[in-house]
Amino acid sequence: MFETLSDRLDKVFSGLRGKGRLTDADIDATAREIRIALLEADVALPVVRAFINAVKERARGAEVSQALNPAQQVIKIVNEELIEILGGETRRLRYAKQSPTVIMLAGLQGSGKTTLAGKLGRWLKAQGHTPLLVAADLQRPNAVNQLSIVAGQAGVDVFAPEPGNGIGDPIRVAADSIDHARRTMHDVVVVDTAGRLGIDAELMAQAAGIRDAVRPDETLFVVDAMIGQDAVTTAEAFRDGVGFTGVVLTKLDGDARGGAALSVRYVTGQPIMFASTGEKLTDFDVFHPERMASRILG
Ligand code: GDP
């Protein structure tokens, strides 16, 4: 397993206990350890550089502290900078003034979109909403069925294409679902879309078509935390091809150290809003930057 960043910093400073002030050499040694730890946590290199510069600058300007030794002082700075780079405050969902609020899910196949639709449905229902899950992933033969199953587990309604009526046209299904939601008094529509194993132009065009048809209040880019640095290229492709207003990190129950979180937030500038931590619908919560910072720090 990884050596945690806290362990590494402790080692750097073990010889310095009792010393009152951080020297430039201490700060450089610290920066080296942070760099290794972040790269091991799969943070993208430009993000590592920017982060280290921010920490170095703050460490140099840090006042001599009575309460904290140099190691604790640097760990505090690193922790605060991590929280900052992860978005600071939790960003809440923005609801439309006029129902329905439309939430579109986008991401690679296998990233966990359909599961997330169920999780969001359950979560929204618990918040007093009446969500409608929409099966606009018509690429995978079983996707509609899978969405119906999670909707059933979540106790929420699902909108899926009628056989023979526009089946095969996810843009049409998505557009129809909004009218349906209005008629049936569903106040939040969650649109599940198709994802391929890799990024491709056709997928992006389809997702953009769905976006134009439903004009989402939120487009959530769903990304598997386990893909590490690949998260950056995938996020950039979805940002340019579809655009998104928030990120959902999935599979955080795996041993991913959170590098994807740090990188995606930094590179796209969009907030991470939710986190998925397992296959069950209850394995889901709003994203808390301070918890992710602790995970990275170890
Ligand atoms: P989609 O292709 O994007 O719709 O992805 P799915 O929702 O079908 O998820 C792909 C696989 O990942 C399924 O086997 C899910 O059970 C699993 N999965 C989804 N979210 C999580 C998660 O947070 N943790 C774990 N361990 N598995 C997940």
Do the annotations mark residue 276 as ligand-binding?
A: no
- pLDDT tens digits, one per residue of 263-291: 898 889 999 999 999 999 999 999 999 98
- Asked if 286 and 246 touch (Cβ cutoff 8 Å), the reply is no
Which range among 35-49, 77-91, 98-112 has the greatest average pLDDT? 98-112
Angle between helices 5-13 and 70-85 (to 10 degrees): 150
Cis before 70 (ω within 30): no
> What pLDDT band is residue 16 in, cutting at 50, 70 and 90?
low
Within 6 A (CB) of ligand 1 lie 107, 109-115, 195, 250-251, 253, 276-279, 283
In the reported structure, the alpha carbon of residue 151 is separated from the centroid of ligand 1 by a whole-number distance in angstroms of: 15
Question: What pLDDT is recorded for position 64?
Answer: 66
pLDDT of residue 274: 96
Between 82 and 162, name the one with better pLDDT: 82
pTM for the full predicted model: 0.91
Pocket test for ligand 1, best of 150, 199, 279, 283 (most atoms within 8 A of CB): 279
- Determine the average pLDDT of the residues in 38-53: 88
Mean predicted lDDT score pLDDT of the chain: 87
Examine the predicted complex and report whether its ipTM is higher than 0.90.
yes
Mean of pLDDT values over 203-217: 93
